[in-house]
A and B are shown apart, each in its own frame.
Chain A
Amino acid sequence: MIQVAAERPLALYPGCSLLSTGTAYLASVHETLRALGLQVKELTDWNCCGASSAHFVDPELAVLLPGRNLAIAEALGADVLTACAACHHRLVQAEHEMSTSEVMARAAVEQGVAYHGGVRVRHLLSVLDETDLSGRISRPLKGLRVACYYGCLLVRIPRSGGIDDPENPGIMERVLRACGAEVADWQGKTWCCGASLAATAPELAGDLVQRILVQAHRAGADCIATACPLCQLNLDLLQGAAAERAGFDRLLPVVFFTQLTALALGAGPRRLGFGKHLVAVRPMMAALAG
């Protein structure tokens, strides 16, 4: 029997960060889905994808951890919907490895991960890009100039490919333009934020964050939009010190792209977790209102 991909239900894989540092991401993902009338249930009893720590220590663990989630999705007959860039990367990599390496597939089954292939891992940006948003935008993001920031893991997935071109992606720009925003053409969109080095080598991560912010300022952005909880955290948390070093005259709010889509689709700002940002989003809201 041929399964039609579009008919498979989507199961949301939030990922661990969306339950703590990135709760604003999760809230706005739900608000966006709800505004579009998309019924998406959470993947049952999902576990951590291992993020960058599993492949730091072991190649097999890096496949088995995300693999368990794929096996759960397969049993449900569902495809996986991701929001976090790192989770997306790890799930796509694991799917690829278990589908192409017999050794890995066998190792997984031996450990109780019954995955046989066929589950598609889809990022919310891709889903929104394929959704016709015209006619659904009740609050166009007029006057807001957004620097779309992809970071690394969403677009750079060796062998299986990311959600868009690794050097000059444009999918987030398309989605936010459809929401009425103006998008900045800028250099820093796929530069690395330093990831977990923010905890282990803060001076290095601080430099990387500063480089990105310099570009966003140069492009005249009102805010930076991300699709990764760690990118958001680093750009938000390390921005104050970076601004002091670089002498920026203002701070740039760093939002999740879903906070913007949800706003444009009519969701109330109070439900989108804007209060959780370290860099205040008030100036951005003012740009929107003006």
Chain B
Amino acid sequence: MGLCFGCGICTGSCPLAPAMDMLPSRLMKAVQLGLQERVLGATAPYLCVGCETCAVRCPNGIDVARVMDAVRQAGMARGGTVPRVDIQRFHQWFLRTVRLFGRAHEGLLSAGFSLQQGRLREDLPTGWALMRHGRLALWPHSIRRRREVRRLFRAVGQRGGR
């Protein structure tokens, strides 16, 4: 982190930078300066999809995407409402299905997320198109030793989401 000299290559490389409220290089500087509230309140770490373009290009070898991860995790650990609760919910639904079955179940994930966001009506055409093309498995593919996977979730406690 201390190595960042603000060259901005992370920002220039980031496919989501145009949609971010705080550009990756600005966020790096804010972390260096310890501007906790501004950093934790930024939507940028929630929009980051971890494409790692910043990480492979940083001249100082900083994994900026990892910093985004850490900032987001710190924000969520603090409790309260995060800047993009919808995106947080999506990932929580994903992990919920993994905890249940040992494998992700895209059908339950999309249905659960869509319902919680109250946009089932908007999402139905997509779901229907996927179903018509045989691309949504209705039945989950459970693993045999689900207990082993649940143990991994228990190890990280609340952080794994519920």
Convert A101-137 into 0s and 1s, putting 1 for each residue whose CB lies closer than 8 angstroms to a CB of B. 0000001001111000000000000000000000000
Chain B neighbourhood of A152, CB < 8 A: 49-53
Q: A192 touches which one: B53, B86, B160 (CB < 8 A)?
A: B53
Q: When the two chains form their complex, are residues A204 and B155 in contact, meaning their CB atoms are under 8 A apart?
A: no
User: Measuring CB to CB, which residues of chain B are less than 8 angstroms from any residue of chain A?
Assistant: 15-16, 19, 47, 49-53, 55-56, 63, 65-66, 69-70, 72-73, 76, 84, 86-88, 90-92, 94-95, 98, 102-107, 110, 113, 126, 129-130, 133-137, 141, 143-145, 148-149, 151-153, 155-156, 159-161
The 13 sampled A-B contact pairs (Cβ below 8 Å) are A20-B106, A21-B135, A45-B144, A46-B143, A47-B143, A53-B92, A57-B73, A112-B148, A152-B53, A192-B16, A195-B50, A199-B90, A199-B110
Chain B neighbourhood of A166, CB < 8 A: 56
Which one of B65, B102, B104, B129 has the greatest number of beta carbons of chain A within 10 Å? Answer: B104
CB of A138 closer than 8 Å to a CB of B: no
Expressed in whole angstroms, the minimum distance between the Cβ of A130 and any Cβ of chain B is: 24
Bound together, the chains give a CA A156 to CA B51 distance in angstroms of 8
Q: When the two chains form their complex, are residues B53 and A16 in contact, meaning their CB atoms are under 8 A apart?
A: no
CB of A187 closer than 8 Å to a CB of B: no
Please tell me which stretch of A177-185, A218-226, A256-264, A271-279 contacts chain B, meaning at least 4 of its Cβ atoms lie within 8 angstroms of it. Answer: A271-279
Convert A162-203 into 0s and 1s, putting 1 for each residue whose CB lies closer than 8 angstroms to a CB of B. 000011000000000000000000000011101111011100
For B132, give the chain A residue with the smallest CB separation. Answer: A278
Expressed in whole angstroms, the minimum distance between the Cβ of A75 and any Cβ of chain B is: 13
Q: When the two chains form their complex, are residues A201 and B47 in contact, meaning their CB atoms are under 8 A apart?
A: yes
Expressed in whole angstroms, the minimum distance between the Cβ of A16 and any Cβ of chain B is: 4
Bound together, the chains give a CA A48 to CA B153 distance in angstroms of 12
Q: When the two chains form their complex, are residues B52 and A153 in contact, meaning their CB atoms are under 8 A apart?
A: yes
Expressed in whole angstroms, the minimum distance between the Cβ of B157 and any Cβ of chain A is: 9
Given A194-B49, A197-B49, A276-B135: A60 touches B155 (CB 8 Å cut-off)? yes
For A151, give the chain B residue with the smallest CB separation. Answer: B51
Given A47-B149, A158-B63: A52 touches B104 (CB 8 Å cut-off)? no
Bound together, the chains give a CA A45 to CA B145 distance in angstroms of 7
Chain A neighbourhood of B104, CB < 8 A: 16-17, 48, 51, 53
Chain B neighbourhood of A275, CB < 8 A: 133-134
Chain A neighbourhood of B47, CB < 8 A: 197, 201, 204
Q: When the two chains form their complex, are residues A58 and B156 in contact, meaning their CB atoms are under 8 A apart?
A: yes
The 10 closest A-B pairs by CB, nearest first: A152-B51, A20-B137, A53-B94, A156-B52, A53-B91, A16-B104, A195-B49, A192-B15, A158-B55, A58-B159
CB of A59 closer than 8 Å to a CB of B: yes
Given A61-B153, A68-B149, A275-B133: A53 touches B95 (CB 8 Å cut-off)? yes
Q: When the two chains form their complex, are residues B73 and A111 in contact, meaning their CB atoms are under 8 A apart?
A: no
Q: When the two chains form their complex, are residues A192 and B49 in contact, meaning their CB atoms are under 8 A apart?
A: yes
Chain B neighbourhood of A61, CB < 8 A: 95, 152-153, 155-156, 159-160
